[in-house]
Structure 1
Amino acid sequence: MKRKYTKILLWTSLGTTLFFFLFFNDEKNLHTFMITLLLSTMYSFVLGFGNGFINEYLNKKFPWSEATRTRAVLSIISIIIGNFILVYFCNFMNYVVIQKTATIEEFFSQRYGLTNWFMINIALLITTFLHAKSFMEELKKTSKKEVVEQKLIAKSANAQFESLKNQLDPHFLFNSLNVLSSLIDENPQQAQKFTASMSKIYRYVLEQKDKELVTVEEEIEFAKTYCNLLKTRFEDSVDFIFEVTPEDSRMYVVPLSLQLLLENCIKHNFATSSKPLTIKIFSDGDTLCIENNLQVREQIKESSGIGLTNIVQRYSLLTKRNVFIEKSEDYFKVKLPMLSAKPNAVSIQSVDENKAYEKAQKRVKEIKGFYSNLISYCIVIPFLIFINLFTGHGNHWFWFPVLGWGIGLASHAFQVFGVGESWQDKKIREIMNKQNDKYNGNI
């Protein structure tokens, strides 16, 4: 146990001693004070350390954050059984061993049954409050931890995504300048047209590079403009074929992916009028394919691999679906996943997170409501029993609220932690998993 906990128990013992000594003792002398202090210290430390040990053991084996329902059920059972044993032990030491006001037979008779019952309810009240406090502290700690972890994950993902996007500017500019330098020597007039077209294309690069996704239609239109730019240099040596359905044009891909892949086709393959390079862009199911006939040119220096690697990494940050690469002796093909929704819009994932957060809030309120009900029961019922026994003259009407409220409390516990709620949670989770699987299969 922590030193702070021990100090709290000592102060509790002293406060209880002064309260009972000043208001419930007719003989106010040193002997009476010491007996009261001994009894208060015994009750405080036995009940305090006993319940503290139970709480710490359950925290290690069944943390609130990992097994909330199991922990709540075990807490209720352990509170009732533990306090029943601890209170009987303290009362036995008080009345039989220390004060010697009762024999063993008298202590376990009906005469002391009401006293034990009253003390058990007081102990239940205190320990229920402590367990509820432990739950709220654990919930607060877990919430803070999850918030920090999510912020770190989001910052890391954003930084990685920004780093990948920032590769596009120098990559595109470097390759375009290489083409321009070649055209200046080969055909100065075409170089001028290329420069004018390149400024339009680079404007698109600047506009789209900060977006996570663009429509296939936008990317195709840009690719056609870029292909016209390439035709300026290669003329009949390169052919471009576009076969994308209108339905697929409304899907999404990562921006500048086609431009990077078209660059790779030109960079890694030779193209002549006698052996033209044919590049085909078409939709196949839920993928956008870029295929070219394989005419590998000898590389003077090793390729950096920025283009394809960049696309693969950007897709990995947006979806679980992979970019597929097919290569044979005759062709080279890259398959880009076409997504059905933008992740930066109000996506299914964000909606599910909001729903999960709302459900967690509702769950916390339900658990707090149950503990409030339990604490109220532990406060009011002993008070009603006390009033009934001192004013009822043999009419024990307190059993009606004890049993009625007790059944309601048990029903409340069953509703919050029992089979009914568990079954609902299980079915909701199954439906959500099916929806998520269906969504992941569509994007």
Structure 2
Amino acid sequence: MNTNKLILIIAISFSLLVNIPRIVFLFGIEEHGLMGLMEVSFTDTVFRISMLFSFCYVVLKLNLKWLRVISAKYRNLTSIMLTLLILGLWLLSFELVNNFIYSIEAYTISPRLNRFIYLFVTIMLLVISRTILLNNQSKLDAIEKERLKRKSLQNELAALKNQVNPHFLFNSLNSLSLLVRENPKAAGVFINKLSFLYRYILQSKDQDLLTVKEELKFLESYIHLIKERYRDNFIVNINIKEELFQRKVPTLALQLLMENAVKHNEISTDKPLYAEVYDEDNHLVVKNRLQSRKGHVESTNTGLSNLNTRFQLHMSQEIEISRDDEHFVVKIPLV
């Protein structure tokens, strides 16, 4: 809620709640009982409501708006001192105006009780102001934390797009060097796939989500380059319904999962790597056979963790990771 609107609501609420007995007596039909303990008139009631409303409004405005320019270190002390100063001035003004209205030194309510009411309201306003400020600060901190988290992810994604694994580029150039000598025609196709891959990365650098169709086209180019290195020892089967092609996923998500499979598994003539990409229950699934490399260091899962965080931020969903003795499976939700 807007702070100015909140200040107005609180000020009106206090001014009416404190004066409920006077309002009831003013419009009551009984002429005895508690009615006899105080003199109530329409002018007096409006005066008291107006004075308390303006007091609440000024105190709240001071604490929630005007003191924001003061350093947080001195804000609380300054708030209390200024609020007490306003309280003193308001009580003095109240009594002066009250005497002027009645023209004699008589009050429709005990001056001591009136001061107690204003002091109690002052304490409540300070507590409410502090609570609102803490709540607003908590929200601002949460927003800032979320902003920094998104910024960090954007930087990570930018770094990912700018490198797509230097080892992959190095190995691709080695494969290309062999192809140029052995099969110039295949080398031409390889160059087209490689240029498309990096052009795609540059063109999508400012986009968080892309269609499944675009991501599959990129993935197929990536797989083509990997297969030039491992030949028939790397087998990938892609089976996704065409009706899902316009759904979206985070940029490079499929490529990262396929790269993860290549990075952490042995690929050889004796142990070819089988991988699948398919759809299931509104998810895309990347599944590969588990065959850990010899001397392979245990993965920290940083790539999967970052990917999961991107899904949480962009889609408020998480990826699903499972494994058994034979397969490693990652399911990613579709937008």
**TM-score for the superposition, normalised by structure 2:** 0.62
Q: Does 1:286 align with 2:282?
A: yes
Q: State the partner residue of 1:178.
A: 170
- What is the rounded CA distance, in whole Å, between the counterparts of 2:224 and 2:200 in structure 1? 15
What displacement does 1:219 show? 1.2
What displacement does 1:42 show? 7.5
Q: Which runs of 5+ in 2 are unaligned?
A: 1-82
User: Deviation per CA, 1:77-134, whole angstroms, max 9, x where unpaired?
Assistant: xxxxxxxxxxxxxxxxxxxxxxxxxxxxxxxxxxxxxxxxxxxxxxxxxxxxxxxxxx
What displacement does 1:275 show? 3.5
AA of the residue aligned to 1:163? N
* Number of equivalent positions: 249
What displacement does 1:263 show? 1.1
- What is the rounded CA distance, in whole Å, between the counterparts of 1:65 and 1:252 in structure 2? 44
AA of the residue aligned to 2:157? K
- What is the rounded CA distance, in whole Å, between the counterparts of 2:294 and 2:177 in structure 1? 22
- What is the rounded CA distance, in whole Å, between the counterparts of 1:297 and 1:223 in structure 2? 23
What displacement does 1:309 show? 2.7
What displacement does 1:200 show? 1.2
Query: Which structure dedicates a bigger proportion of its chain to helix?
Result: 1
- What is the rounded CA distance, in whole Å, between the counterparts of 1:230 and 1:250 in structure 2? 26
Query: What secondary structure does 1:211 align onto?
Result: coil
Q: State the partner residue of 2:90.
A: 8
User: Deviation per CA, 1:271-307, whole angstroms, max 9, x where unpaired?
Assistant: 2345421111000112111111222212466656443
Q: State the partner residue of 1:221.
A: 217
Change over 3 Å in CA distance of 1:266–1:188 after alignment to 2: farther
User: Deviation per CA, 1:383-433, whole angstroms, max 9, x where unpaired?
Assistant: xxxxxxxxxxxxxxxxxxxxxxxxxxxxxxxxxxxxxxxxxxxxxxxxxxx
What displacement does 1:6 show? 1.9
Change over 3 Å in CA distance of 1:221–1:252 after alignment to 2: same
Give the conservation status (yes or no) of the 8 Å contact 1:316–1:322: yes
- What is the rounded CA distance, in whole Å, between the counterparts of 2:89 and 2:192 in structure 1? 81
Give the conservation status (yes or no) of the 8 Å contact 1:164–1:314: no
- What is the rounded CA distance, in whole Å, between the counterparts of 1:229 and 1:310 in structure 2? 25
Q: State the partner residue of 1:46.
A: 113
Name which of 236, 240, 244 aligns with 1:240. 236
Name which of 206, 212, 217 aligns with 2:208. 212
Give the conservation status (yes or no) of the 8 Å contact 1:269–1:295: yes
Give the conservation status (yes or no) of the 8 Å contact 2:176–2:190: no
What displacement does 1:243 show? 1.0
What displacement does 1:154 show? 4.7
What displacement does 1:168 show? 0.9
Q: State the partner residue of 1:395.
A: none
Query: What secondary structure does 2:164 align onto?
Result: helix
What displacement does 1:259 show? 0.7
What displacement does 1:260 show? 0.9
- Range with greater deviation from structure 2 (163-172 or 330-339): 163-172
How much identity, in percent, do the aligned residues show?
25
Q: State the partner residue of 2:158.
A: 166
Matches within 5 A, 1:45-84: 45-54=112-121, 56-57=123-124
Change over 3 Å in CA distance of 1:194–1:300 after alignment to 2: farther
Give the conservation status (yes or no) of the 8 Å contact 1:214–1:253: yes
Give the conservation status (yes or no) of the 8 Å contact 1:327–1:333: yes
Q: Which runs of 5+ in 1 are unaligned?
A: 26-35, 67-137, 340-443
What displacement does 1:319 show? 3.5
Q: Does 1:155 align with 2:155?
A: no
Give the conservation status (yes or no) of the 8 Å contact 1:168–1:209: no
Give the conservation status (yes or no) of the 8 Å contact 2:265–2:290: yes
Query: What secondary structure does 1:335 align onto?
Result: strand
Change over 3 Å in CA distance of 1:233–1:192 after alignment to 2: farther
Give the conservation status (yes or no) of the 8 Å contact 1:14–1:40: no
Change over 3 Å in CA distance of 1:163–1:46 after alignment to 2: same
Matches within 5 A, 1:17-416: 17=99, 19-20=100-101, 24=103, 36=105, 39=106, 43-54=110-121, 56-57=123-124, 145=137, 148-149=140-141, 151-183=143-175, 187-189=179-181, 194-299=190-295, 305-339=301-335
- What is the rounded CA distance, in whole Å, between the counterparts of 2:297 and 2:250 in structure 1? 28
Change over 3 Å in CA distance of 1:183–1:304 after alignment to 2: farther
Higher relative contact order (CA 8 A, sep 6+): 1
What displacement does 1:246 show? 2.1
What displacement does 1:171 show? 4.2
Q: State the partner residue of 1:31.
A: none
What displacement does 1:333 show? 1.2
**TM-score for the superposition, normalised by structure 1:** 0.48
Query: What secondary structure does 1:167 align onto?
Result: helix
What displacement does 1:55 show? 6.5
Q: State the partner residue of 1:359.
A: none
